[in-house]
Amino acid sequence: MIKRKVFIIKGFSKSTEERILDENFANSYIDFFKLCAGGAYTLDEVVYLSEPSYSYLKENIYNEKLDYGIIVYIGHGANQQNNQLFQLNAEEIIKPGQFTLNTEKQIIILESCRVLAQFIPFVDLSDKIPAFEKGGILRNALELEQSREIYDSHIKRCAEGIMICYACRIGEEAYSFMFSKMFLQHAINWHLDSSRHCAILPIDELMRLTLPSTVVAVQQKFGLLQWPESSGKTNFPIAVSKF
């Protein structure tokens, strides 16, 4: 059986309003990974940490050997001398890359370096019944255990590596969770496409989908530039088809 976990790490929130927004998107990621769409992770496979201490992460995040792991950082960030920084809590700023999981296959997602704005995007994680303009066969939706099996089977076939997904480039700011909005919405839309059968959406493909839509959305809403990017080339699973 594949041992896998997702860690959602919410960093320091500077105000009550900011905390609510941070927690809302943390919950969106949690909900996604627990769905069939996100790999049907169980409750004990999704770990939420709110403003943890450096010592806690150091002692706990690397203590379990995994076959596959994902870390999502949500909070304030910056770049200094080509090092990504993340404000973990009111007193501590860390380099997220120093807290990798004890696994040879992992993804790190950084929703950081952002400013707040009036427009708050909404991620629609609800299920939908597919429409057929020209008729067709409607397959039964995959059940949780089937989704897990497909997801785990793909993990076994993947080469070892690490992929880091950034909400924006060095010197840019990540605006109002637009990266996470596009990231999760593309994953859900891909999942709901009835033409796919027992299929996997790899993380590198999801980033290719997320990049242009984030650029366009930020330009249209704020008249600014935000360009998501990634390092590492992997085809680790991030979503499973509905059928």
* Within a domain: 43: yes
243 assigned to some structural domain: no
User: Quick one: average pLDDT of 100-107?
Assistant: 94
The answer to whether residues 158 and 236 touch, using CB atoms and an 8 Å cutoff, is: yes
Could you report the per-residue pLDDT of 75-95, keeping only the tens digit for each? 988 877 777 888 999 999 888
Question: How far apart are the C-alpha atoms of 197 and 33, rounded to whole Å?
Answer: 19
Q: Does 34 fall in a domain?
A: yes
**Domain harbouring 214, CATH code:** 3.40.50
Predicted confidence at residue 128, as pLDDT, reads: 54
| Greatest Cα-to-Cα distance within the chain, rounded to the nearest angstrom | 59
- Total domains present in the chain: 1
Q: Is the pLDDT of residue 59 over 50?
A: yes
pTM of the shown model: 0.90
pLDDT for res 139: 67
In a domain, residue 51? The reply is yes
pLDDT, tens digit, 9 for 90 and up, residues 132-145:
444 445 568 999 99
Residue 56's CB is within 10 A of a number of other CB atoms, namely: 12
Give tens-digit pLDDT for 110-121: 998 644 434 445
The 10s digit of each residue's pLDDT in 201-217 is: 999 999 999 999 999 99
Residue 126 has pLDDT above 80, yes or no: no
- Would the pLDDT of 64 be above 80? yes
Amino acid at 45: E
Residue 10 is classified by DSSP as E
Q: Give 21-51 pLDDT, tens digit per residue.
A: 999 999 999 999 999 999 999 999 999 999 9
Dist. CA 86–CA 95, nearest whole Å? 6
Give the residue, 232 or 60, on which the prediction is more confident: 232
pLDDT for the residue 130: 46
Helix 178-192, helix 203-222: angle, nearest 10: 130
pLDDT of amino acid 178:
95
Compute the mean pLDDT over every residue in the chain, rounded to the nearest whole number: 89
Q: Look-up: residue for tokens 């769905």?
A: 35
Q: Which residue has the tokens 């909900």?
A: 31
Range of the domain at 34: 4-238
